[in-house]
Structure 1
Amino acid sequence: MTIQVREYATLTCDTSRETSMDLGVVSQATFDWLLELQQSWKGRADLLSIEGKTRLKLCSYAGYLQSPHGEAIEILPKTEYAIPTGPERLRRLLHTMLRSTLGLKHREAGAAELLRSRTPLHEWVIRQFLKELADLVRRGLRFDYRNVEEQCRFIRGQLDMTRQIRQTPEKATHFHVRHAEFSPQRLENRLIKTALDIAFKLTKDSDNWRLANTLSHQLVDIEPINQPLRQLGHWHHGKMMQSYSIINPWCRLLLEQLNPNFQKGKHKGIALLFPMEQLFERYLKACLRQQLAVGAKLTPQVSRRHLLSHAPDSAEDETVQNWFVLKPDFLIEQKGVCFVLDAKWKLLDQRLSTSEHKYGIKQADLYQMFAYGQKYLDGKGQLMLIYPKHNDFERPLPVFRFNDQLSLWCVPLDLYTGKLIEGDWLGSFDCFQFSAA
């Protein structure tokens, strides 16, 4: 049983309620598992909040949850206020955003691929991993030399004289040798085999299972790694390993998201979740790079400035300390001019143009942008807040002015095309290559 909801939906164990994209009905056992999952959750933001004894409210995560009792919850992005008629478009959007954040080129999807896109998110991720692994095996895995020390009945390589001298008489016919073996047991292959074992264990899709079974037989001689997360940082990205570059993000995704705690003990289940704020920010980075003018430089997560400096009385050397780093999402530099941009995964409403509602813009976001303008632009220049486009926010808002020299624009991004919606802001941001129309 799969329940389809979207961000900020309510989950309840009250079976008298009717299910929708904003309300999911789960069993009491799954409800209790979700409570346990929240208590053990290690993400930067809460997975869900508790609203009474029978209600839970999801936070800003999209992805897939499956309890040990078999119930599955598919969480899709909330891209508009109205309840969508079907989840397929949102699911494909989530796939597109994930591909972009992993740095992978979009592939034209045929009828079969569109059909598979209706499967749960973790099955889609497993499918992408298995396809890339099949291509890699077809091209050939990379082998490497490794040092082997063993005891055998013939001399192979170099004889270990120290250990041989200490050999007992009953084993006089054995030799302690050292030699280099050309082996597939290199770190990257072992990490891939570990991810393959996870995929083979979790998949319920028949096509995925058959492909994983075939690949498992082809990689049967490669040993998995017990603690792969500790070894991921040692993946080699040199010129000789370019053929592994495409499978690396899928392998990392399986090991980081579908590995560890959710497969063991009382929390056994599947949790493949992505914080939408981070996913939108990374997706926007990929989109902006496609729209920059020649010579413009995009720097994400820049941290060159601090909110204030301070020299504590207790400091013996009277060193001035910088406090509260200011880290805008994007800084664009072109011909000595800087532009500051920030991504906000929130739904604005262009109809709420009153001083009371203020389009739904958060006051804290404006304070934040004002600080960026003072510290990064010296109080003179152009700032931009980028929000997702939807039916009630289809065009850029009129300019906001902190003063005569510092302006702020709120611009929608079309999530399906990856393009900023053109408007009056174009005259102030020559760092983008847009037509004047």
Structure 2
Amino acid sequence: MIQVREYAVLTADPEANPTMDVGQVSGATFEWLIDLHNQWEQDSKLMIRNGKKYLKLGSYIGYLQSPSGEGIEILPKTEFASPEEPESLRTLLQDMLRCSASLDGREGDSADLKRSELPIHEWIIAQFLNQLTHLVKRGLRFDYETVEEESRFIRGQLDVGRQSRQSPARATWFNIRHDVFTPNRTENRLLRTALDYVLKLTKNARNWRVANTLSHQLSVIEPFRKPLPQIGQWQNTKLMQPYKAIKPWCVLVLERLNPNFQHGLHSGIAMLFPMEQLFENYVAHHIKKRMRSGSSLTSQAASQWLIKHSPDGGPEKSWFQMKPDLLVTYLSRKNVMDAKWKLLDSTQNTPAEKYGIKQADLYQLFAYGHKYQNGYGHMLLVYPKHAAFQEPLPELSFSEDLHLWCVPFDLYEKRLIGGEWESFFPALTRGHQGALGRCHLRPQEQV
């Protein structure tokens, strides 16, 4: 299996020197990747150097498998330098996926599920199989299904309409309608379908053994031919609480490990995740655990709009909804937070380099600050911590009233790096005495 990281280049050039930033693939796999590049609107780029083709990956991580069976694992880029131990990146990615699936670290505690040598797709399969094993041991939920059939014996209700049209030759047969207590409810059929995918795709010996055993245990359940439209029928009632832990893994397998995701490329797999979204979920998950009592954290708040407009003199409409990544609320005060998956460099402090901060991100925060904070207070821009960005940057000011802090988030200790910014964010400083008193508040807002 080929292992690279974000923004690596892939090539079929036999003279290429494989590293975490350069992946060498077969010609057939490269052509398949070109097809994917043409079909998907992602931030990958096709380049030509010295007459040879290269495909530069974007900010997506996960696993690709070509129809020939060649696998490519794409891991996060957490440092400028090439990593010496890629296993730590796998562990980080596993944690991020757990957070995005809103799963507890308690789930899947066995040593086999924590092994960093498992490729990411095999790890996801192991998580699904582990949850399915627990569910089968606890017992699947059954449901009543109405069956209409012909029988020599009356059972349930007699279908009078059909029976009245029965030919004399079949006068001894009864058209009946009755309920059968069956495991063939939607949730179980989705699980069985995902299990069939897993059994077909896994190359890990332990995963295959577990999947094969479960396949025999669930043999009476009928899989779906087209499962994706059925996912919306999954019930989240109190009766189905035992299914809560397995649902995200089941959906992940059905949506991302579907072996038929491309017409004409039946054995190809493309299980990719946007790092920007994973990082946002990861930051939100761990910040929420450290927040002061009485505060709240809202992801993708959507209460403000950029403009109001009355088309053709009609009723006023709100246009361009504004959704900051995170919105912290404490004592009726709001602070906007945005998480950006980008490696800043604190040594690039010149007017030309600007630490590597994107101007578009600042425009975005400026608008958020005026709409959600009335142009007053402090906002937080969170970036991953790495060797070139280990301490918060000095305060950035949009005006005398509106300020921004760029703060590193430690990916492995799972926390924001402290600093002067903490004085202005009491909700994020649990146990930090006197933080509220040092907040920048307007005189009429002070308590």
Q: How does 1:4-403 map to 2 (within 5 A)?
A: 4-41=3-40, 45-46=41-42, 48-52=44-48, 53-107=52-106, 112-115=112-115, 117-259=116-258, 261-262=260-261, 264-266=263-265, 268-312=267-311, 315=312, 317-403=313-399
Pair 251,111 (structure 1): closer, same or farther in 2 beyond 3 Å: closer
Q: What one-letter code is carried by the residue in structure 1 that aligns with 2:372? A: Y
Equivalent residue pairs, number: 429
1:147-173, CA deviations, whole angstroms, 9 ceiling, x for partnerless residues? Answer: 111111111111111111111111111
Q: Contact 1:33–1:267 (CA<8 Å) still a contact in 2?
A: no
- Percent identity over the alignment is 54
Q: What's the C-alpha RMSD, in Å, of the aligned pairs? A: 1.6
* Distance in 2, Cα, partners of 1:365 & 1:36: 32
Cα-to-partner distance string for 1:131-190 (whole Å, 9 max, x where unaligned): 110111111101111111111111111111111111111111111001111110111001
Q: Distance in 2 between matches of 1:423 and 1:300?
A: 24
Following superposition, which runs of at least 4 residues in structure 1 exceed 6 angstroms of deviation?
A: none
Residue 99 of structure 2 contacts residue 285 of structure 2 at CA under 8 Å; is this kept in 1? yes
Superposed displacement of residue 367, structure 1: 1.0
Distance 1:111 1:143, change over 3 A: closer
Checking the alignment, whether the CA contact within 8 Å between 1:36 and 1:267 is kept in structure 2 is: no
Matched letter for residue 307 of structure 2: L
C-alpha distance in structure 1 between counterparts of 2:231 and 2:265, whole Å? 26
Q: 1: CA distance between counterparts of 2:168 and 2:318? A: 71
What is the CA deviation profile of residues 349-386 of structure 1, one whole-angstrom value per residue up to 9, with x for unaligned ones? 11111222111111111111111111111111111100
Distance between the aligned counterparts of 1:239 and 1:321, measured in 2?
40
Give the aligned partner of residue 405 of structure 2.
409
How far residue 109 of structure 1 moved from its aligned partner, in angstroms, is: 5.7
Gaps of 5+ in 2: 434-447
Match of 1:421 among 417, 425, 429: 417
Contact (CA 8 Å) 2:197, 2:259: kept in 1 or not? no
2:157 & 2:261 partners in 1: Cα distance? 46
SS at match of 2:426: coil
Q: Distance in 2 between matches of 1:365 and 1:145?
A: 54
Residue type of the partner of 1:303? A
Q: Normalized against structure 2, the TM-score is what?
A: 0.93
Instruction: Give the Cα separation in 2 of the matches to 1:71 and 1:342.
Output: 37
SS in 2 for 1:265: coil
Cα distance in 1, alignment partners of residues 13 and 207 from structure 2: 35
Q: Check 1:150–1:111 CA distance in 2 against 1; reply closer, same or farther (3 A cut).
A: closer
Task: Verify the 8 A CA contact 2:348 2:355 in the aligned structure 1.
Answer: yes
Q: Secondary structure at the match of 1:68?
A: coil
How far residue 299 of structure 1 moved from its aligned partner, in angstroms, is 1.2
State the AA in 2 paired with 1:318. Answer: G
> Using the alignment, how far apart are the partners of 1:409 and 1:10 within structure 2?
33
Question: In the alignment, what sits opposite 2:438?
Answer: none
Can you list the C-alpha shifts for 1:375-424, whole angstroms capped at 9, x where unaligned? 11111111110011111111111111111211100111111122111111
Please report how far the alpha carbon of residue 304 of structure 1 lies from its aligned counterpart in structure 2 after TM superposition: 1.8
SS at the partner of 2:252? helix
Following the alignment from structure 2 to structure 1, what is the Cα–Cα distance between the partners of residues 174 and 111? 61
Q: Hey, what's the Cα distance between the residues in 2 that align with 1:157 and 1:248? A: 34
Deviation at 1:433, TM superposition (A): 3.3
CA offsets, 1:187-223, max 9 Å, x none? 1001100100110111111111111111011000100
Contact 1:37/1:267 (8 A) holds in 2: no
Work out the CA distance in 1 between the residues paired with 2:237 and 2:315: 43
Could you tell me how far apart the structure 2 residues matched to 1:134 and 1:430 are?
A: 44
- CA contact under 8 A between 2:47 and 2:54: conserved in structure 1? yes
Provide closer, same or farther for how the CA distance between residues 110 and 221 of structure 1 changes in structure 2, counting only shifts above 3 A: closer
TM-score using structure 1 length: 0.95
